[in-house]
Amino acid sequence: MAWPYAMVFATLYDAVFLWAERKGLRAMRKELLSHCTGNVLEIGAGTDLNIGHYDAGLARLVLTEPEPYMAAKLRAAVGRARAPAEVVEAPAESLPFPDATFDTVVSTLVLCTVRSPDVVISEVRRVLKPGGRFLFIEHVRSDNRRLAKWQDRLRGPWSLFAYGCQCNRNTLETIQRGFATQQVSRDRLIGLTPLLRPLVRGQARTA
């Protein structure tokens, strides 16, 4: 993404999310990340909103992020992680790790923004060990036809404003295409725009 937009986005990101974090997103992050075990990879890690929720007992925590300004914020925050953590600049479509490296892969609010969600899911499967877990919180296309129509109408302008975020993506279908076994609950993202309100969170396992 072009400078200075990327820099402004990275700088304002935590402030924009402040209200949503207070209205429930922080609690959802904490609950999700309590399921991490062993070697953990986070894709599209953003700024630092997940870092404090990772447990000290993890063997390894790798935070990947393709945007240099976001990655710089992560590096500044990595000292606050209780687990041994490192930052790697990489897009989730092309993860620089061998097959079957991780016990857990985490994605929070990322599949809306990546260029190729299906490619990302197949990369996630590739780097997970057999029986490994994919943990996610993602906003999705609404089941409500009226809201879905607004998500379709406003996708273009919203995407320009919000860093490429596609508010009308059916991300749950993408996850379900990639993983046979999933536990999913539906929730609501409060404190941002209604376009992002329909949320799914849960976990999926490799065979």
Ligand X SMILES: C[S@@+](CC[C@H](N)C(=O)[O-])C[C@H]1O[C@@H](n2cnc3c(N)ncnc32)[C@H](O)[C@@H]1O
Site residues (vs ligand X, CB under 6 A) = 43-46, 49, 65-67, 70, 91-93, 108-110, 113-115
Smallest distance from the beta carbon of 137 to ligand X, in angstroms? 7
Distances (CA, A) of 183 to 3, 135, 193, 201: 39, 10, 26, 8
Judged by beta carbon, residue 40 or residue 131, the one nearer ligand X is: 40
Smallest distance from the beta carbon of 145 to ligand X, in angstroms? 25
Question: Residue 22 has what DSSP assignment?
Answer: I
Distances (CA, A) of 145 to 120, 150, 152, 196: 27, 9, 10, 14
Bridge-based pairing state of the strands 102-108 and 128-139: parallel
Judged by beta carbon, residue 136 or residue 179, the one nearer ligand X is: 136
Judged by beta carbon, residue 36 or residue 146, the one nearer ligand X is: 36
Judged by beta carbon, residue 163 or residue 180, the one nearer ligand X is: 163
Distances (CA, A) of 22 to 2, 137, 167, 196: 30, 16, 22, 16
3-state secondary structure of 183: strand
Question: Residue 164 has what DSSP assignment?
Answer: T
Peptide bond between residue 4 and the one before it cis (omega within 30 degrees of 0): yes
3-state secondary structure of 104: strand
Judged by beta carbon, residue 14 or residue 55, the one nearer ligand X is: 14
Smallest distance from the beta carbon of 193 to ligand X, in angstroms? 13
Smallest distance from the beta carbon of 146 to ligand X, in angstroms? 24
Smallest distance from the beta carbon of 93 to ligand X, in angstroms? 5
Which residue's Cβ lies closest to ligand X?
46
